[in-house]
Amino acid sequence: MSAVVFYRIGFGTETTHVTPVSTPRPRDQEFRAALDRYIAAYIADQKRRTEGNAASQLDGE
């Protein structure tokens, strides 16, 4: 995982403007990493729900 550090540049006549100091990953790699994190969280949530449903069915019988 790479980190992007921003250095704030400001002069009295400029609006707030940030400039990346390190080279960011290409957009497709960033999208893929975010998608992988989303899918992993979704699968973990589905497992928790399945286990919770199974436990509640055992308690009800």
Residue 3's pLDDT band (cuts 50, 70, 90): low
Report if residue 9 sits inside a domain: no
Residue 56: give the domain boundaries.
25-61
Tell me which DSSP letter residue 4 carries.
-
The string of DSSP letters for 5-56 reads: -EEEE--TTSPPEEEESSPPPPHHHHHHHHHHHHHHHHHHHHHHHHHHHHHH
The pLDDT assigned to 17 comes to 58
Kindly state whether residue 33 falls inside one of the protein's structural domains.
Answer: yes
For 4-56, write each residue's pLDDT tens digit: 666 666 555 555 556 666 666 788 999 999 999 999 999 999 999 999 888 88
Look at residue 48 and tell me if it is in a domain.
yes
User: Taking the model in full, what pTM does it have?
Assistant: 0.50
**Is 20 inside any structural domain?**
no
Domains contained in the chain, number: 1
* Position 10 in a domain: no
pLDDT at 57: 81
